[in-house]
Structure 1
Amino acid sequence: MTIFEKFSLIENPINQTPMAKYMRNQFPFAGLKAPERKQQSHDLIQASKKLRISEILSGVTQLYQRPQREYQYVAIDMCVANVRRLSFADITHLTRYITEKSWWDTVDTWRKVFGLYIMRHPEQKQAVFALFYQNANMWMRRVSIILQLTEKETLDTLLLTKAIENDLNTDEFFIQKAIGWALRNYSKMDPEWVKRFIQTHQLSKLARHEGAKYLTGVSN
């Protein structure tokens, strides 16, 4: 029996219903908020740092098979903790989980794994971006838009532009929200670039409103 098969979260029934409701009842929950989940999974995460990457990838699969949503969060936390040991092949493998049990909570947290990876391997940024760009799956394209969310000076505006322009006319809330989020976040670093982008692109009302939140002189 693997350490993942032995691993089990102690549920908190009080939180199960409200947490599931917050996620539109798409997934059952163990009822653990982030601090409690991280406390319970601490030993597993620490132990994972001594495992082979192949064992970690297998563990992700095992955790993703559990019905309670928190097990998916633990799987992602484990990948974040081991991101410095991941290869491009591993990253490519992990993209499959963007399309499994998909919703914004796991998709956006997986984005952290990919974002941290490209910050450690900037020479592979375009290759990682290509894994998501123009994908038929909406959640994969959302990752292409917010991939560089944690970057500042190193953000590649050409890639950001390509990702946004590819979905300018996509009538999907989570895509338009991602466009606005990416622009708003980068406006902290380069407000003039974001201002020009908004002024020269026909953004949706939602994307424009979100992107211009921190800007002056731009109607949102």
Structure 2
Amino acid sequence: MNEVIFPKNKDKAEQMSAYMKHLFPFAGIPAPERAILEKELLKASKKLSFSELFDLISFYYNKREREYQYVAIDLATANYKRFSFEEMLRFKPFVVEKVWWDSVDAWRKFFGLWGFHYLEEMPQLFDAFFGEENFWHRRIAINLQLLYKEKTNTVLLKKAIIYDKTTDEFFIQKAIGWSLRQHSKIDPSWVEDLIKSTDLSPLAIREGSKYLPKT
């Protein structure tokens, strides 16, 4: 299996690093180009055992440039249907490694896809992130069901929102608003009732009510 090695684009790398507040070095490879360069790797990864795949994901996640963390998450996402619940939990520590909103939201998509595919086990997956000390883990609990539409478990969604409603952290309040806004496309009455009955932050209310009817 050939290793993915990204060519360096200095100007683009500086722009991408600046966008991420210079927290990480970048090679300077935009997402569409990365998708082309990693295509064969993702295809080949589907023939690996879990142990081999996990080691490969760890290898890319530990590389220096930020694009390699994206490759690692793409590898996990390309194989999510293969994983048992216990195997899924092996990826949880990655969420808080080299952490920022971009990687956390990519991991959230990965966990969310698995939970939607194995819907009966989704509450167990939610519990693995709910109430965790690290707020990035809790962000995943709040946003785990963003893609679930009519299959959203509103009991769990409300539980996650209530738990963190007074948390003084921008990325938590933004997550609450994001989940409410997304679910308002499906059930605006539920979202409106929750906003009215819960002492949410101004940010969460503003974000969550964007699609609600104006009164």
| Equivalent in 74, 86, 91 of residue 89 of structure 1 | 86
Which whole-Å CA distance do the structure 2 matches of 1:77 and 1:121 have between them? Answer: 19
**Which position in structure 2 is the counterpart of 1:138?**
135
Residue 39 of structure 2: aligned partner? 42
Asked if 1:59 is matched to 2:56, the reply is yes
1:106 correspondence with 2:113: no
Output one character per residue of 1:16-66: Cα deviation in whole Å (capped at 9) or x when no partner: 001000000000001011001111111111110111121111111111110
Aligned equivalent of 2:4: 7
Partner Cα separation in structure 2 for residue 36 and residue 63 of structure 1: 17
Q: Does 1:129 align with 2:126?
A: yes
Q: Which runs of 5+ in 1 are unaligned?
A: none
- Tell me which amino acid in the other structure corresponds to 2:85: F
Cα distance in 2 between the residues matched to 1:154 and 1:171: 30
Gaps of 5+ in 2: none
The residue that corresponds to 1:159 in the other structure is 156
**Count of residues in correspondence between the two structures:** 215
**TM-score scaled to structure 1, two decimals?**
0.95
Q: Which amino acid aligns with 1:186?
A: H
- Matching residue of 2:196: 199
Name the Cα RMSD after superposition. 1.0
1:126 Cα deviation from its structure 2 partner: 1.0
Distance of 2:48 and 2:6 partners within structure 1: 21
CA distance in 2, matches of 1:50, 1:14: 37
Report whether the alignment pairs 1:118 with 2:101. Answer: no
One-letter amino acid of the counterpart of residue 59, structure 1: L
Contact 2:4–2:37 (8 Å) recurs in 1: no
Amino acid across the alignment from 1:171: D
Distance in 1 separating the partners of 2:120 and 2:100: 29
Equivalence for 2:184: 187
- Aligned residue type for 1:76: I
Deviation, structure 1 residue 121: 0.6
Taking the aligned partners of 1:145 and 1:9, their CA distance within structure 2 comes to 34
Aligned position for 1:71? 68
- CA contact 2:161–2:176 (8 Å) conserved in 1: yes
Distance in 2 (CA, whole Å) between partners of 1:67 and 1:106 is: 14
Letter of the 1:161 counterpart: K
1:206 Cα offset (Å): 0.5
Specify the code of the residue in structure 2 equivalent to 1:181: W
